[in-house]
Amino acid sequence: MAITLDHLRRYAVARSLFKPTTLARAIERLGFVQADPIRAPARAQDLTLRHRVVGYRAGDLERHYPKLPLEEDFFVNYGFLPRAHHHLMHPRTPRVAWTPARWKQAYAVRDFIAARGAVHPRDVDAHFAHGKVTNWFGGSSNASTQLLDGMHYRGLLRVARREGGTRVYATHAVDATPPDAITANARMDALVDLAVRKYAPLPASSLVQLVSYLRGGAPQWAAQRASALARAKQRLGHARVDGVDWYWPADEKPASTRWKPDAAVRLLTPFDPVVWDRRRFALFWDWSYRFEAYTPAAKRKLGYYALPLLWRDRVIGWGNLAVADGALASDFGYIDGRAPRDAAFRAGLDVELARMREFLDLD
């Protein structure tokens, strides 16, 4: 059977929005959950998981994280991933090397944390008084916070839990022996497969971009990315559809009748795997979605944190939600200029807003 764009769209939606399961199983199936601190009306990781975890409430990931086999870390971006995948990126060698003096500071902080078990950044700052530094966007940050970030990235620390959204660190030990060339290639292939399984199906240009994003999780293997991409194109399932080359896990068949999106109406975070690839989004739904939280208010077209509105296998518009005086406020826009007149859509949207209120504990 010839694969069509309709097949790919249904496949993308159905495989990502699987039947809700437990928190641990959902993250294992996703392979990675992107994190973002903005709450509009909840953090991205919570908005992603609410569709895929039975009875999920905002903040459940943060509450249950200490007891789950998960790590916070960089992958293609920052988020949460199973511990079984975390080791594939370590020992990590950042692109900017530390001076001997910086390493001396890091070892002193690690000893301090090891003696206490788990430490909040304010306690490190109070003990060492590292002072202030200029952060990446030109503001001022505690030097201790920047040092802890660097130690976490290098595998010296792990996030033990969060308190009020702030990372609390514990010491962490990763194998410091760099893998040989064969092992490094095998790890790169595993990382590519993990990313593809999360975001498939991918047009060729997005696959290239996705592999390039692995520079965040595994900067030490920059030289291996081109060969990893070449191997992936040979290994993955693929087809040319309407002049575009597409790729997906080799053990899946996009044209299979098993991929049937449900009839639900869903509000998706801008970082949801259904939405994340903006090239694919435009190919599937023939309009361009933009994340406008960092766009000046006067130039926004969709809204500060517009949530794409999915109905069946179509993203037909967007919604902006906010909590005011304990109530959920909502405002919607539609690509066709108005909401569908179908009674099933209206009922589905009411159900989705009720789910959102429950997720936010507004009832």
CA angle 34, 40, 41 (to 5 degrees): 105
Residue 132: its pLDDT value, please? Answer: 60
Written as tens digits, the pLDDT of the chain (363 aa) is 799 999 999 999 999 999 999 999 999 999 999 999 999 999 999 999 999 999 999 999 999 999 999 999 999 999 999 998 999 999 999 988 999 999 999 999 999 999 999 999 999 999 987 666 555 445 545 788 999 999 999 999 999 999 988 999 999 988 888 999 999 999 999 999 999 999 999 999 999 999 999 999 999 999 999 999 999 999 999 999 999 999 999 999 999 999 999 999 999 999 999 999 999 999 999 999 999 999 999 999 999 999 999 999 999 999 999 999 999 999 999 999 999 999 999 999 999 999 999 999 997
Alpha carbon of residue 106 to chain centroid: 28
| Rounded distance between C-alpha atoms, residue 132 and residue 167, angstroms | 19
pLDDT at 140: 45
Give residue 143's pLDDT.
Answer: 85
Beta bridge partner(s), residue 329: 322
Q: What is the pLDDT of residue 335?
A: 97
* Residue listed under structure tokens 């993990």: 194
The C-alpha angle with vertex 123 and arms to 117 and 125, in degrees rounded to 5, equals: 130
The total of other beta-carbon atoms located within 10 Å of residue 187's CB is: 19
pLDDT at 137 (0 to 100): 44
**What number of residues does the chain have?**
363
pLDDT at 133: 56
Which amino acid is it at 184? A
DSSP state of 234: H
In this structure, are residues 179 and 132 in contact, taking their beta carbons and an 8 Å threshold?
Answer: no
Token match 């993250």: residue?
A: 27
Helix axes 100-116, 121-128, angle to 10 degrees: 120
User: Can you say whether the dihedral through the CA atoms of 44, 47, 48, 50 is positive or negative?
Assistant: positive
- Model-level pTM? 0.94
Closest CA to 274 of 202, 335, 340: 202
So what's the architecture of 100-171 in CATH? Orthogonal Bundle (1.10)
